[in-house]
Amino acid sequence: MLHQTLSQILTPGSLAAQLSHAAQIIARIRQGESLADGLIQAVPETDRPAVQEMVYTFLRAYGWADAILAKLLQRPLQDMWLQSLLGLAVLRLFRQSETAHTIVSQAVDAAAQHDEGRFKALTNGVLRNFQRQQAELVASVKQLETVQWAHPRWWVKHVQRDHRKTWQSILRAGNTHPPMALRVNVRQTTRADWLARATEAGIEAQAIGADGVMLTKPVRVSQLPGFFDGDISVQDFGAQYAAELLNPSVGARVLDACAAPGGKTAHLLERTDVALTALDVSPERCQRIEENLARLKLSATVKAADCREIDSWWDKQPFDAILADVPCTASGVARRHPDSKWLRQESDVNRFARTQREILDALSRVLAPGGKLLYVTCSVFTEENQLQIAEYLTRHPEMLLTQEVQLLPNAEHDGFYYALLTRTA
């Protein structure tokens, strides 16, 4: 709250105000909060786009700024806002050296409004020293593993172990801007019609997959023709595999067990007439499902429930098809959610794997004989993917693996894992 009050003293729209807001967000992430908690949405609208770009750029460059500051400071800083401000300014100086004077002066102005200004001189000194020693400092940290790959060391080791031939491309992809893919609501329009409208609106796009569209350049959703009428949705192309792989029959009873925010739920309903139940453990996230379905003019039974606790929500009628898009480390979508590199710990891999195991075992009880279960993660770690399914099949001999797909992040899509299972008895 102190930082919010002080940042209001700075001129809205100024680089100082933007640095102050961005430093506050990064400090809160360092303390365990997530971007999903609305941290950027709390920034005044005039500063929001610039602050978002600052935050995402900083988070994607995991480790670099802290490694530089470790060489510039005599001892580690306890103040996470100040650490974040200095990191943001150092990264900006490195990438936009032509505006160095403005960056330094505005960072000092931001520091002057924090903690009664007692770090103003320190901020100026650190940034001036970086300018003088930039080439030497950058060279000295370049070969550090964390800096080189911009991921935590444990994360790098996991990817190296699980993807021996492609680990470098996976990590590099995790530091890039994600593509912007869309999904056409085929109940309301055709892809050809929407692409024609996009061309008229000056938006470059091309067809991809069965129902998808890939934009050449990202745009705001308000610029997408028919977005508010439900003609189009933003959804990564990799996520669009779910509805195609599960492919329930007309009239089937379908369960989306971990449904929020509802993109895969909606895609299933857009493609086929089914009786769909969507669950999510969070009532707030269930509201987002309802809102998304309303925009798309679709309907489903939405319940706030933990899918593992089947007695609290199941009507004892088995499902013909189940989508289990389970909680995971999100290691395949790090570029889209760069705060995950800061929030995840190595112990989280096993923690998520336990939850996934519990979900799979519970959902097996509500699947009809001959029914299909599609297990999905947005992870590239084998503990959550191939190993999880191998152990599941050992516990459940009545289940048969009929299709397995591992998507790795690239220019077209994020990283996803799919395992399509059929109950034989």
CA–CA dist 363, 308 (Å, integer): 7
Residues 6+ apart with CB under 8 A from 244: 209, 210
Q: Which residue among 258, 286, 328, 378 is the active-site one? A: 378
Structure-token match 């590199």, residue found: 341
CA–CA dist 219, 238 (Å, integer): 19
Which residues is 301 bridged to in the sheet?
277
Catalytic status, residue 378: yes
CA–CA dist 335, 175 (Å, integer): 6
Which residues is 302 bridged to in the sheet?
278
CA–CA dist 203, 189 (Å, integer): 18
Neighbours of 332 (CB within 10 A): 29
Q: Which pairing describes strands 319-325 and 367-377: parallel, antiparallel, or unpaired?
A: parallel
Written as one letter, the residue type at 147 is: V
Alpha-carbon distances of 247 from 39, 114, 321, rounded to whole Å = 37, 56, 9
Helix axes 15-30, 100-112, angle to 10 degrees: 70
Q: Which pairing describes strands 205-208 and 212-215: parallel, antiparallel, or unpaired?
A: antiparallel
Q: Could you list the active site residues?
A: 378
